[in-house]
Structure 1
């Protein structure tokens, strides 16, 4: 709160300070209707919680979104409140229904070419907006990155191009959905992370959040209906239609669930993926020798700048994947994750009763030299086998969990991998990326990371 010790600090900085003060386990007292959180940074505790979470892990992370779905619009959601909000058997049924669609790599193969084309459009957008003299992009470049990610995820969510990068930047429905999606997590931070009275009285922020979620729902329903109508017209005209897209497969399972999952892809994916892409670019810009090594790998797979990527060419890019993994370590996204204990457990010698909320702060460990030697250096090589011994550097399994662990790990992981790998490959193959400003504290944290500085990257064309 204003005047408090951690006012305007990131969750990551707050957690690191609390860990230094109280050790690897402490209780963060609840207030304003929120339960206490047992917070642990011990990898043994983190493993204990994950190993004992059962078939249907519980995580009460976004109560304001859950309230909207269960109390404001039960007419739409009913029992299908989405993977973000659902718990127990209800969550298990939904997850089982969509796992084959989201978690199998073969279902994503059809997106390589359209994602390559979206990134080609983004590359042209960079050339259009960068300064002709300095080759730097404007202060608001983060919005351009977010538009790229929204366009990419929107292709999966709604099976159609939005045009927000350049072709139709003011597309009213898509633009409203884009802005509302980004605003949702600002309100979530105010309502569900910071102290808030919304569970007792209807606060102005709570009312704004309810209206925002209603708008997102209606726009998502409209977009999916427009997609279905368009596809039906094409079928009747005898055109070939991809019936194996993720949206089409979801619609076959459950039309209501398809709407909910399409919304959640955007809600959970746009901010987190945009920030990851900016983090990868920043790491490569500040470590030009790593960027050169990555480009060397890319040149073998992409002999020309406009080489289309596919599942075959993308198989052989170990350094690209190591760069992305290291960026996730170097700029961790938030604190970690939450779990509700399904039974009594013992953490660091303490009895933690059933029903307790436990915050698993594994992301704080990512900048700890005990777990990651030379933690302050960007070293993608730590994720690769040593060329002489053939061995990998041992990594504590429960310190690096950017997508979670177990049955409730992020269902969009493969989708994020596909989007980030495609974007980084296309950008680094086309440009030498530089950042000629201070980047000692580039992010602040709300629910996810947020830029704390303008990302005025310099993009210089690669000659060959």
Structure 2
């Protein structure tokens, strides 16, 4: 294709050239080869893009040419039926069905439930402040996130904060321990001829016992919800999926009223059947979306809160300014409601800057479904295109002194000076993160509750600078340990 990049090794491609981490190598390779370069996953070429305008073209303007994400050949049941693994019309239908669960009105309804789960987190912070012992952010914030996701999303009380040894915590942590030496992952890249055997044996990227735990938990929750009196229904993530499963005719009407050119093309090509696609969710799909919601919500949001706490501890002037804003706004409210959070612009700037420095995923992908030309580059059908979010976020062209934590980068005036796609922590376009609103609300409520009463400071166990995760997620392998002190 005439695109430069690091020289691949025979047979392995560039697979073992990511030390000290994908995030770091992307930054280095952008400096060396430019904002568009090529890599090889064994023998498969991958186009890596760190140009915001090209990201916009791929994810938004030419979305119909890049409709799907990469679909792994390993059938990791039931997770292969999750929203992120669906493609074409089936993805669009399920996405449209799930979207109302994350609307502004639903967030308003969920904020009191989320706030209630923060009570236990505040008690834990208070205990550490009295004892003078450091906190492990992943444990404290992870427990809060699990409890709030379980309560606001599914109406169940897991109470992992009062029981830190809860099996949910153990299984969720293990699910996100990514290693290049995962046996199914190695087979997928280096010996794909064995993939049918893995699928026949039902061996996926996640160990069976982890999938079984979350499957059993979700099935139990679904059964409990279906046995409840219809008049006591909650309006939450799970209930919306259950309703869609029972009243799918509503979605057929909505589809016909909002049919676009791509829908027509799929039907004419015989690739979809609208009636089948609008039957809501099968039991397998219910399980897949629920497990995905649990797992994705746990890792990304708890890590974000940990990074914000770390930034506050290492930037006390910023922490003081944020605490002042929280005090001013909360003097009018009894608890951090949806409306109260929306009146905290500096909190939003702090969170946005944390997401810039430490995006939940260092890359996100699209796959071309037809030959396409973007900014003079001919991208063939089937090419994987990886948007290097971390590299864009740390490009001095868009962010001066990118390694410094500066929330003021996200004032209205500063944002207008930058390309709108120079900030991509949740992806971009129609296939961005569907849970973005929920994650931001959950993180902000938890941070406000913590900073109302406490401040974070470095302790002798605080790692400065942080060692970040080497692969897809930046979660520090050693966690983030901080001192917590009660505010005067």
- CA RMSD in angstroms comes to 3.0
- Are 2:19 and 1:22 aligned? no
Deviation at 1:27?
A: 1.9
Structure 1, residues 81-137: CA drift from partner, whole Å, max 9, x if none? 1212100111111111111222x11012122122112112111012234572xx342
State how far apart, in whole Å, the 1-side matches of 2:187 and 2:21 are: 12
Q: Is the 8 Å Cα contact of residues 336 and 362 (structure 1) preserved in structure 2?
A: yes
State how far apart, in whole Å, the 2-side matches of 1:223 and 1:197 are: 39
Deviation at 1:228?
A: 4.0
State how far apart, in whole Å, the 1-side matches of 2:232 and 2:90 are: 33
CA 462–444 in structure 1, closer or farther in 2 if over 3 Å, else same: same
- Are 2:249 and 1:249 aligned? no
TM-score under structure 1 length normalisation:
0.83
State how far apart, in whole Å, the 1-side matches of 2:386 and 2:204 are: 28
Q: Structure 1 residues 417-426 or 147-156, which shifts more? A: 147-156
Which residue is 2:397 aligned to? 370
Which residue is 1:116 aligned to? 115
Which residue is 1:309 aligned to? 336
Deviation at 1:289?
A: 0.9
Which residue is 2:106 aligned to? 107
Q: Is the 8 Å Cα contact of residues 393 and 423 (structure 2) preserved in structure 1?
A: yes
Deviation at 1:258?
A: 3.7
Q: Is the 8 Å Cα contact of residues 441 and 452 (structure 1) preserved in structure 2?
A: no
Match of 2:378 among 351, 364, 387: 351
State how far apart, in whole Å, the 2-side matches of 1:40 and 1:55 are: 16
CA 385–48 in structure 1, closer or farther in 2 if over 3 Å, else same: closer
State how far apart, in whole Å, the 2-side matches of 1:131 and 1:193 are: 48
Which residue is 2:54 aligned to? 45
Deviation at 1:157?
A: 3.3
SS state at 1:400 partner: coil
Which residue is 2:156 aligned to? 160
Q: How does 1:1-400 map to 2 (within 5 A)?
A: 6=17, 9-31=20-42, 35-50=44-59, 51-54=61-64, 57-60=67-70, 62-64=72-74, 67-69=75-77, 81-102=81-102, 104-129=103-128, 132=131, 135-138=132-135, 140-166=136-162, 168-170=163-165, 175-186=166-177, 190=182, 191-192=184-185, 196-197=189-190, 199-201=192-194, 206=203, 209-211=206-208, 212-229=210-227, 231-232=228-229, 241-254=232-245, 256=283, 257-303=285-331, 307-347=334-374, 349-385=376-412, 392-400=415-423
- Are 2:464 and 1:439 aligned? yes
CA 194–395 in structure 1, closer or farther in 2 if over 3 Å, else same: farther
TM-score under structure 2 length normalisation:
0.79
CA 206–449 in structure 1, closer or farther in 2 if over 3 Å, else same: farther
Q: How many residues are aligned here?
A: 429
CA 243–115 in structure 1, closer or farther in 2 if over 3 Å, else same: closer
Deviation at 1:406?
A: 1.2
Q: Structure 1: 5+ residue runs without aligned partners?
A: none
Which residue is 1:427 aligned to? 450
SS state at 1:369 partner: coil
Which residue is 2:484 aligned to? 459
Deviation at 1:281?
A: 0.7
SS state at 2:48 partner: strand
Q: Structure 2: 5+ residue runs without aligned partners?
A: 1-11, 246-280
SS state at 2:484 partner: strand
- Are 2:470 and 1:448 aligned? no
State how far apart, in whole Å, the 1-side matches of 2:150 and 2:317 are: 34
CA 205–272 in structure 1, closer or farther in 2 if over 3 Å, else same: farther
